[in-house]
């Protein structure tokens, strides 16, 4: 065997070693990519679970928002009713004040009338006493 044949054989052996090394490297890289793909698939599954949980939470929030919107509408109606009740109470208070003023006026008139009656009764009593005194002095009999 000649030197060239030996060199070719050495080069073929070296190429086979390099080819095997590159093939092992490629397989190792493929294995690593497969592991990474598996990890990414695992992460994707976890993200899908998180997305499902977020979708569930979104549905719950949508339900809560719908309920709150309904309550907001109810609160608006209740506020309107309270506003109407306040207006009615203000009117009722004004009416009550007018009624109290009217009653106070009547009570004053009754007090004034009672005062006049007391003064008149006192005057009548005084006049009757005078009449009795006059009747006694004149000797007139009162029946």
Q: Are 38 and 30 in contact (CB under 8 A)?
A: no
Cα angle vertex 76, ends 93, 68, to 5°? 145
Please state, in angstroms and rounded to a whole number, the distance separating the CA atoms of residues 100 and 107: 10
What average pLDDT does range 65-79 have in this prediction? 84
The pLDDT, as a whole number, for residue 103 is 96
Asked if residue 114 has pLDDT above 90, the reply is: yes
Grade residue 130 by pLDDT with cuts at 50, 70 and 90. Answer: very high
Give yes or no for residue 64 having a pLDDT over 80: yes
**What pLDDT is recorded for position 45?**
92
Q: What is the mean pLDDT of residues 85-100?
A: 96
d(CA 51, CA 41): 15
Provide the token pair at 91: 């009117």
């Amino acid at each position: 065997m000649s030197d060239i044949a030996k060199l070719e054989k050495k080069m073929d052996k070296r190429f086979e070693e390099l080819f095997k090394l590159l093939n092992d490297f490629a397989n190792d890289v493929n294995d690593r990519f497969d592991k990474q793909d598996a990890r990414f698939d695992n992460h994707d599954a976890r993200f899908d679970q998180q997305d499902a949980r977020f979708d569930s939470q979104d549905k719950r929030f949508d339900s809560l928002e719908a309920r709150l919107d309904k309550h907001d509408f109810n609160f608006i109606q209740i506020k309107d009713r309270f506003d109407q009740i306040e207006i009615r109470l203000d009117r009722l208070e004004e009416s009550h004040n007018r009624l109290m003023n009217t009653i106070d006026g009547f009570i004053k008139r009754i007090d004034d009338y009672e005062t006049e009656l007391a003064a008149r009764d006192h005057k009548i009593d005084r006049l009757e006493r005078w009449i009795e005194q006059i009747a006694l002095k004149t000797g007139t009999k009162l029946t």
